[in-house]
C-alpha cells in the first residue's frame, strides 16, 4: 500500500470534528446532570410526570451527543492500531448512553418509597430510553483510518481500470457523496467542483463511503469497450493480405 494513499483528515475536517466532539461532551454532561437531578428529586409517586419529562429530555440530549460524536469520528476517524483506544473512541456514545440511564433505571426499581405503578411506568419509560440511546450510540460500522485507506485504495484501483491508469476525478465542493470521471457529467453541471485523486475526493468532501458516479462509470465502460473494438478492427485491417491466404 502506497503511503500517499493513506487517508489523512484535512485541517478543516479536524477543526469541525473537534467542535462536534466538544458539543457532544457538553450534551452528555448535561444529560448526566439531569439524571442526577431526577434521581435525587423526581423518583416519587407525586412527581411521576416530571420524572418522565426528565427522562425524555435526557434521552434527547444523549442522542444529540451520540450523533455529534459519530459525525466527528467520520470526519476525523481514529486509528485501529490501539484496539482498546479505538473501541472507546468509536463506541463512546453507547458507553455514555448507559451512564446516562442505567443508574436511573436501577434506582427506580429499587426505591422503596415508590409504589408498583410508579416503578412500572417510570421503569418502562427509562428502559425504552436506555435502549433508544444505546442504539443511536453504537457505531455498527465505525470509521477508521485503516478502513478509509483500504476503501480509497480499492476504489482507486477500480477507477484506473476504467481510465487506463489515470487517477483523476471531480466532485461537488458543497454536497454529494459521489465523485465523477467526467467534468461535464450532468450530475455536477453548473455546480462548484473540485478535482484531484480519489484520495483527495474523500478527504476534501469530509464524508465517508464515497463512490464513483454510476453515470460516469457506465460512460467510461462504453468508451473503453468502443476503444477496444476499434483496436481489434485496426489490427485486422493491418494484417498483410498474404498472411490471410
Nearest in space to 126 (alpha carbons), one of 37, 64, 53, 68: 53
Cα–Cα dist 197/5, whole Å: 9
Predicted pLDDT at 4: 58
Which among 68, 33, 79, 75 has a CA at the least distance from the CA of 54? Answer: 33
Determine what percent of the chain is predicted with pLDDT higher than 90: 72
Mean pLDDT (whole number) for 229-242: 51
Q: Per-residue confidence at 2, pLDDT binned at 50, 70, 90?
A: very low
- Burial of residue 38 (CB within 10 Å: 0-12, 13-18, 19+) is buried
- Alpha-helical (H) ranges within the chain are 11-37, 48-75, 83-90, 92-110, 116-137, 145-162, 198-205, 214-237, 241-244
Give pTM, 2 decimals.
0.83
The confidence score (pLDDT) of residue 156 equals: 92
Residue 194: which residues within 8 A CB-CB, separation 6 or more? 170, 171, 172, 173, 200, 201, 204, 205
Average pLDDT over residues 95-118: 95
Amino acid at each position: 500500500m502506497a503511503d500517499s494513499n493513506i487517508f489523512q483528515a484535512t485541517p478543516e475536517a479536524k477543526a469541525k470534528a473537534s467542535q462536534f466532539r466538544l458539543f457532544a461532551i457538553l450534551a452528555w454532561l448535561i444529560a448526566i446532570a439531569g439524571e442526577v437531578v431526577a434521581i435525587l428529586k423526581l423518583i416519587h409517586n407525586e412527581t411521576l410526570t416530571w420524572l418522565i419529562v426528565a427522562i425524555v429530555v435526557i434521552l434527547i440530549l444523549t442522542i444529540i451527543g451520540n450523533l455529534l460524536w459519530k459525525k466527528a469520528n467520520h470526519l476525523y476517524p481514529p486509528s485501529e492500531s490501539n484496539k482498546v483506544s479505538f473501541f472507546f473512541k468509536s463506541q463512546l456514545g453507547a458507553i455514555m448512553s448507559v451512564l446516562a440511564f442505567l443508574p436511573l433505571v436501577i434506582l427506580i426499581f429499587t426505591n422503596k418509597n415508590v409504589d408498583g405503578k410508579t416503578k412500572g411506568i417510570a421503569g418502562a419509560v427509562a428502559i425504552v430510553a436506555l435502549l433508544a440511546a444505546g442504539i443511536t450510540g453504537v457505531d455498527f460500522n465505525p470509521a477508521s483510518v485503516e478502513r478509509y485507506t483500504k476503501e480509497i485504495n480499492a476504489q482507486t484501483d477500480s477507477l484506473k481500470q476504467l481510465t487506463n491508469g489515470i487517477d483523476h476525478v471531480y466532485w461537488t465542493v458543497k454536497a454529494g457523496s459521489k465523485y465523477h470521471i467526467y467534468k461535464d457529467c450532468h450530475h455536477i453541471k453548473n455546480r462548484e467542483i473540485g478535482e484531484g485523486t480519489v484520495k483527495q475526493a474523500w478527504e476534501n468532501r469530509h464524508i465517508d463511503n464515497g463512490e464513483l458516479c454510476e453515470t460516469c462509470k457506465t460512460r467510461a465502460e462504453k468508451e473503453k469497450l468502443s476503444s477496444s473494438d476499434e483496436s481489434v478492427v485496426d489490427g485486422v485491417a493491418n494484417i498483410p493480405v498474404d498472411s490471410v491466404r
